[in-house]
Structure 1
Amino acid sequence: MKTTNKMTEKTMAQVANGKVHEILPEGGEGEETDEGRQAVDEGGGGGGRSREERQDKILPQPTTEIPAQERIPLVVDDGASESSTNHLECKDKNTNAQPDASGQTCCLPKKCCGSPVFSPFCRQLANVLVACLAGLCVGTIHAFPAVSLPRWEEAGFVLTTAQTTWFASTPMVISVLTCWGSGIVVEYLGNRKCLMIGVVSLALSWIVIAIAESFWALLLGRILQGLTASVYMVIITVYPAEVSISCWRGVMTGISEAMVMLGAFLTYLAGISLQPSAIGILFILSLIPMLVAYYFLRDSPLWLARQDKDEEVASTLRCLRGPTIDITEELEQIKDSVATERIQKPSATEQLLLLRKMIYFKPVLLSVLVLLFKELTGQYAAMAYTVKIFKMAGSSLDPYWCAVVMGAARFLPCFTSWILIERLPRRLLICTCMTLASFALGTLGTFLFFWSKKTDGLPPSLGWIPLLCFLVFTLVFGSGIGPTCWTLVAELLPSRVRNVGAGIINTCFSLFLFLVGLSFPFMVEGMGIGLVFITYSACTLSGVVFVLVCLPETKGMSFTEIQTVLTGNKYKISDMA
Structure 2
Amino acid sequence: MSSRDDSASEDGLRKPLLHTGSWYRMGSRQSSIMGSSAQMIRESISIFLCVFIVALGPIQFGFTCGYSNPTQSDIISDLGLTISEFSIFGSLANVGAMVGAIASGQIAEYIGRKGSLMIASIPNILGWLTISFAKDSSFLFMGRLLEGFGVGIISYTVPVYIAEISPQNLRGSLGSVNQLSVTIGIMLAYLLGMFLHWRVLAVLGILPCTLLIPGLFFIPESPRWLAKMGLNEDFETSLQVLRGFDTDISVEVNEIKRSVASSTKSSTIRFAELKRRRYWYPLMLGIGLLVLQQLSGINGVLFYSSNIFKSAGISSGKAATFGLGTIQVIATGITTSLVDKAGRRVLLIVSSSLMTASSLVVAIAFYLEDFVPEKSHFILGTLSLVSLVVLVIGFSLGLGAIPWIIMSEILPVNIKSLAGSVATLFNWLTASVITMTANLLLTWSSGGTFTIYALVSAFTVVFVRLWVPETKGRTLEEIQWSFR
Q: TM-score range by the shorter chain?
A: 0.7 to 0.9
Query: Quick check: 2:358–2:387 contact (8 Å CA) kept in 1?
Result: yes
The equivalent residue for 1:142 is 65
Query: Quick check: 1:208–1:220 contact (8 Å CA) kept in 2?
Result: yes
Query: Quick check: 1:386–1:403 contact (8 Å CA) kept in 2?
Result: no
Does the alignment pair 1:348 with 2:265?
no
* Cα offset, 1:300, TM superposition: 2.2
SS in 2 for 1:348: coil
Query: Quick check: 2:310–2:317 contact (8 Å CA) kept in 1?
Result: no
Query: Deviation per CA, 1:194-253, whole angstroms, max 9, x where unpaired?
Result: 333433322211111122233322211111011111221232122112222223222222
Letter in 2 for 1:124: I
The equivalent residue for 2:201 is 279
The equivalent residue for 1:408 is 326
The equivalent residue for 2:293 is 374
Q: Using the alignment, how far apart are the partners of 2:191 and 2:227 within structure 1?
A: 42
Query: Quick check: 1:146–1:388 contact (8 Å CA) kept in 2?
Result: no
Among residues 210, 215, 225, which one is paired with 1:293 in the alignment?
Answer: 215
Change (3 A) 1:298 1:553: closer
* Cα offset, 1:143, TM superposition: 1.8
Unaligned runs of at least 5 residues, structure 1: 1-91, 565-577
Q: How does 1:292-311 map to 2 (within 5 A)?
A: 292-311=214-233
Among residues 434, 449, 464, which one is paired with 2:352 in the alignment?
Answer: 434
Query: Quick check: 1:94–1:109 contact (8 Å CA) kept in 2?
Result: no
* Cα offset, 1:125, TM superposition: 0.7
Query: Quick check: 1:96–1:109 contact (8 Å CA) kept in 2?
Result: no
Change (3 A) 1:104 1:370: closer
Letter in 1 for 2:388: F
Q: Using the alignment, how far apart are the partners of 2:449 and 2:269 within structure 1?
A: 42
The equivalent residue for 1:193 is 115
Tell me which protein shows more helix as a share of its residues.
2
Query: Quick check: 1:410–1:478 contact (8 Å CA) kept in 2?
Result: yes
Among residues 538, 546, 552, which one is paired with 2:455 in the alignment?
Answer: 538
* Cα offset, 1:366, TM superposition: 4.8
SS in 1 for 2:169: helix
Query: Quick check: 2:103–2:421 contact (8 Å CA) kept in 1?
Result: no
Does the alignment pair 1:123 with 2:42?
no
Q: Using the alignment, how far apart are the partners of 1:425 and 1:298 within structure 2?
A: 28
Task: Report the TM-score, using the length of structure 2 for normalisation.
Answer: 0.79
Query: Quick check: 1:132–1:256 contact (8 Å CA) kept in 2?
Result: yes
Does the alignment pair 1:519 with 2:448?
no
Among residues 368, 375, 393, which one is paired with 1:475 in the alignment?
Answer: 393
Query: Deviation per CA, 1:101-153, whole angstroms, max 9, x where unpaired?
Result: 999446x9957x7354x5xxx71111111012111111111222222224435
Q: What RMSD over aligned residues (CA atoms) do the two structures have, in Å?
A: 4.0
Q: How many residues align?
A: 459
Query: Quick check: 2:174–2:336 contact (8 Å CA) kept in 1?
Result: no
Change (3 A) 1:244 1:233: same
Of 365-374 and 550-559, the range deviating more from structure 2: 550-559
Change (3 A) 1:138 1:110: farther
Larger radius of gyration: 1
Letter in 1 for 2:56: L
SS in 2 for 1:247: coil
Q: How does 1:320-359 map to 2 (within 5 A)?
A: 320-327=242-249, 330-331=252-253, 334-335=256-257, 337-341=259-263, 344=264, 348-350=268-270, 352-357=271-276
Q: Percent identity?
A: 20
Q: Which structure is higher in RCO with an 8 Å CA cutoff and minimum separation 6?
A: 2
Among residues 41, 56, 62, which one is paired with 1:114 in the alignment?
Answer: 41
Query: Quick check: 2:297–2:434 contact (8 Å CA) kept in 1?
Result: yes
Unaligned runs of at least 5 residues, structure 2: 1-20
Query: Deviation per CA, 1:27-71, whole angstroms, max 9, x where unpaired?
Result: xxxxxxxxxxxxxxxxxxxxxxxxxxxxxxxxxxxxxxxxxxxxx
Query: Quick check: 2:287–2:423 contact (8 Å CA) kept in 1?
Result: yes
Query: Quick check: 2:223–2:238 contact (8 Å CA) kept in 1?
Result: yes
The equivalent residue for 1:234 is 156
* Cα offset, 1:473, TM superposition: 0.5
Task: Report the TM-score, using the length of structure 1 for normalisation.
Answer: 0.68
Letter in 1 for 2:130: V
Change (3 A) 1:256 1:358: closer
Q: Using the alignment, how far apart are the partners of 1:537 and 1:183 within structure 2?
A: 33
